[in-house]
Chain A
Amino acid sequence: MSVMLEARDVEFSFGQTPALRGASVAVEAGEILAVMGPSGSGKSTLLHCLAGILVPDSGEILFDGARIDAMAETERSGLRRDRFGFVFQFGQLVPELTAVENVALPLLLSGVRRRQALPRAYDWFARLGLDGLERRRSGELSGGQAQRVALARGLVAEPQVLFADEPTGALDSLTGEQVMDLLVGAAREQGTTVILVTHEPRIAAYADREVMVRDGRVNAPDRVAS
Chain B
Amino acid sequence: MSVPLTLLGLLEREPSHGYDLKRDYDAFFGRGKPLPFGQVYSTLSRLARDGKVVISDVAPGAGPDRKRYIITDVGATEVEQWLTQPVDPEPHLQTVLFAKVVLALMLDRPAAEYLDTQRSAHLRRMRELTEIKRAGGLVDALLADHGLYHLEADLRWIEMTGARLDALRKEVRP
Is the A/B pair a real complex?
Answer: yes
Stretch at the interface among A79-87, A105-113, A147-155, A202-210: A202-210
Given contacts A181-B134, A225-B86, contact A205 B120 (CB under 8 A): no
Asked if B8 CB lies within 8 Å of chain A CBs, one says: no
| A177: min CB distance to chain B, Å | 8
- State whether B120 touches A225 (Cβ < 8 A): yes
Given contacts A38-B159, A184-B134, A225-B86, contact A204 B123 (CB under 8 A): yes
Complex Cα distance, B113 from A225, in Å, reads 10
Find residues 205-226 in chain A having any chain B CB closer than 8 Å to their own CB. Answer: 205-208, 210, 212, 219, 221-222, 224-225
- State whether B126 touches A202 (Cβ < 8 A): yes
- State whether A225 touches B117 (Cβ < 8 A): yes
A-B contact count (CB 8 A): 49
Q: Please indicate the chain A residues that have their CB under 8 angstroms from the CB of B126 in the complex.
A: 201-202, 204-205
Residues of A within 8 A of B (CB): 38, 181, 184-185, 201-202, 204-208, 210, 212, 219, 221-222, 224-225
- State whether B124 touches A222 (Cβ < 8 A): yes
- State whether A201 touches B123 (Cβ < 8 A): yes
Give me 9 A-to-B residue pairs in the complex whose CB atoms sit less than 8 angstroms apart, sorted by A's number: A185-B134, A201-B126, A201-B155, A204-B123, A205-B123, A212-B119, A221-B117, A221-B120, A225-B120
- State whether B129 touches A205 (Cβ < 8 A): yes
Complex Cα distance, B86 from A218, in Å, reads 21
Which of these, B117, B129, B156, contacts A224 with CB under 8 Å? B117
Complex Cα distance, B119 from A219, in Å, reads 12
| B63: min CB distance to chain A, Å | 48
The residue among A205, A207, A221 with the most chain B CB atoms within 10 A of its own CB is A205
Output the nearest chain B residue to A177 by Cβ-Cβ distance: B133
Residues of B within 8 A of A (CB): 86, 113, 116-117, 119-124, 126-127, 129-130, 134, 148-149, 151-152, 155-156, 159, 163
| B60: min CB distance to chain A, Å | 50
- State whether A201 touches B116 (Cβ < 8 A): no
| A214: min CB distance to chain B, Å | 9
Q: Please indicate the chain B residues that have their CB under 8 angstroms from the CB of A181 in the complex.
A: 134
Complex Cα distance, B117 from A219, in Å, reads 11
Q: Please indicate the chain B residues that have their CB under 8 angstroms from the CB of A185 in the complex.
A: 134
Q: Please indicate the chain B residues that have their CB under 8 angstroms from the CB of A208 in the complex.
A: 127
- State whether B116 touches A210 (Cβ < 8 A): no
Complex Cα distance, B122 from A225, in Å, reads 12
Output the nearest chain B residue to A174 by Cβ-Cβ distance: B145
| A211: min CB distance to chain B, Å | 10
Complex Cα distance, B123 from A208, in Å, reads 10
Q: Please indicate the chain A residues that have their CB under 8 angstroms from the CB of B127 in the complex.
A: 205-208
Which of these, B116, B149, B151, B163, contacts A212 with CB under 8 Å? B116
Output the nearest chain A residue to B149 by Cβ-Cβ distance: A202
The residue among B86, B113, B127 with the most chain A CB atoms within 10 A of its own CB is B127
Complex Cα distance, B120 from A206, in Å, reads 14
- State whether B151 touches A201 (Cβ < 8 A): yes
Q: Please indicate the chain A residues that have their CB under 8 angstroms from the CB of B151 in the complex.
A: 201
Given contacts A205-B123, A205-B130, A206-B130, contact A219 B148 (CB under 8 A): no
Q: Please indicate the chain A residues that have their CB under 8 angstroms from the CB of B113 in the complex.
A: 224
- State whether B116 touches A202 (Cβ < 8 A): no
Q: Please indicate the chain A residues that have their CB under 8 angstroms from the CB of B129 in the complex.
A: 205
Q: Please indicate the chain B residues that have their CB under 8 angstroms from the CB of A221 in the complex.
A: 116-117, 119-120
Q: Please indicate the chain B residues that have their CB under 8 angstroms from the CB of A212 in the complex.
A: 116, 119
Output the nearest chain A residue to B112 by Cβ-Cβ distance: A214
Which of these, A202, A210, A224, contacts B152 with CB under 8 Å? A202
Complex Cα distance, B124 from A225, in Å, reads 11
